[in-house]
Chain A
Amino acid sequence: MSSLSFDAAPLPVRDDIAEALPQVWARIGQPGTWLTARERVAVAAESRNARYCQLCAERKDALSPYAVQGEHDSLGKLPDDKVELVHKMMTDPGRIAGHWFEALKDGGLPETEYVEIVGVIACTVAIDTFCRGIGMAPPPLPEPQDGAPSHETVGEEHLNRGLAFAPTLDPFVDGPLQKEFFPAGPPTAAHIRRALSSVPDTQRDFWRIANVLYMNGLQMRDFSTEYRAITHAQIELVAGRVSAINQCVY
């Protein structure tokens, strides 16, 4: 049972969105791969809280955000390193740097947990933004469910540590996860499709949402057909404007 439903939405919502978003929102309230349900819900709550943080506001205005020291205004449910990750990703993602990722890792934040937290934040942001966009209040946080994280590992031999800050699944290594996540083969495995793949359930949850909010890879490049109620050009205009505000080159 999800605390998100579009049954009473102020306007009709596509069936695939109305099915996927509540499912993924409920998943945040379940044990993850490396985080407990309580931690996952705390990440979602902290991501909503981050925009009220004074330290983040000062860092956002600073020429060099890493030179501004202080304490985050947090909800107190997560340790400092996880609060730092959540707040940075929410308030100044365009200036995240490799040395910052390494510092979190050297300070004891496992890269597996880092990736899962990034996924939970991303799902929360997507759901909250969509709800607000259509005139709905963001949903209440899910109730954390009992249970232990699965600790599913993909195996070091399946990881690529040269693409990004965090490890990603290597599409050029043969394996069942590669077949699931990159079904068309390594040459078509866009970098963004690899981003969360080192934690498979995080990958599945995020793309469950992203595939219905946007389009699949084939639809993206098929300009002969319009798959949405707005055109390809209008879609890419909205996408580009959002990415510009977020200062995202990718």
Chain B
Amino acid sequence: MALLRASGEYTGDDYDLSAVLGDSGEDTGIPHADVLIRLAETAIKFDDEATDAARDAVIERMGEAALVDAAAIAANFNAIDRVADAIGIPLEDEKAAISADFRAELGIDEFGRASLPAAAE
């Protein structure tokens, strides 16, 4: 999410970071956020029927190459999240510092294991 905010700062856009917590995506400021979020949600839950519809929507609005890249990102983070949690990887100090405000605001610190530097076991 720090990179999402950083990309918005670069382009001068003010993105609604709460979209990642399950917002519909309609008011995020990110084009086609609604269909991308739907694809991410359904693909990682292995809900094939819902994924079919989400996939069609992404292709219709954004094209096949966008669908491939969106599926690739969902796949990567569905795996890398598990690696981070299974190995017990903490956030880097500098990343923890720059994300502290929105983590607290959005309730991300309440996730199952707060992998913050001070919380590393």
Taking Cβ atoms with an 8 Å cutoff, the residues of A that contact B are 11-14, 17, 51, 85, 88-90, 92-99, 101, 115, 118-119, 121-123, 125-130, 132-135, 163-166, 168, 190-192, 194-196, 206, 209-210, 212-214, 220-221, 223-224, 228-250
Most buried by A among B46, B52, B70: B70
Determine whether the beta carbon of A191 is less than 8 Å from that of B73: no
Partner of A238, one of B36, B68, B82, B113: B36
Partner of A242, one of B44, B86, B112, B115: B44
Contacts of A221 in B (CB 8 A): 3, 6
Can you report 29 residue pairs joining A to B where beta carbons are below 8 Å apart? Answer: A12-B64, A14-B72, A89-B86, A98-B88, A115-B87, A125-B82, A127-B75, A129-B78, A133-B43, A135-B52, A164-B120, A190-B92, A191-B91, A195-B89, A210-B76, A214-B73, A220-B3, A229-B63, A229-B69, A233-B7, A233-B13, A236-B4, A242-B40, A243-B81, A244-B22, A245-B41, A245-B44, A246-B85, A249-B114
Contacts of A14 in B (CB 8 A): 65, 68-69, 72
- 19 A-B pairs besides A206-B83, A238-B39 with CB distance below 8 A are A97-B121, A130-B75, A132-B43, A133-B51, A133-B67, A164-B120, A210-B80, A212-B72, A214-B73, A223-B7, A233-B7, A241-B20, A243-B77, A244-B111, A247-B112, A248-B82, A249-B114, A250-B84, A250-B91
Taking Cβ atoms with an 8 Å cutoff, the residues of B that contact A are 1, 3-4, 6-8, 10-11, 13, 15, 17, 19-22, 25, 28, 30-33, 36-37, 39-41, 43-46, 48, 51-52, 55, 59, 62-92, 103, 108-109, 111-116, 120-121
Determine whether the beta carbon of A196 is less than 8 Å from that of B4: no
Q: With contacts A11-B64, A223-B6, A250-B81 known, is A240 near B20, CB below 8 A? A: yes
- Chain B min CB distance to A201 (Å): 15
Most buried by B among A130, A190, A214, A220: A130
Determine whether the beta carbon of B68 is less than 8 Å from that of A134: yes
Most buried by B among A97, A123, A238: A238
How far is it, in angstroms, between the C-alpha of A165 and the C-alpha of B111 when the chains are bound? 18
- Chain A min CB distance to B68 (Å): 6
Contacts of B115 in A (CB 8 A): 248-250
Closest 4 CB pairs of A and B: A133-B71, A98-B121, A165-B88, A94-B112
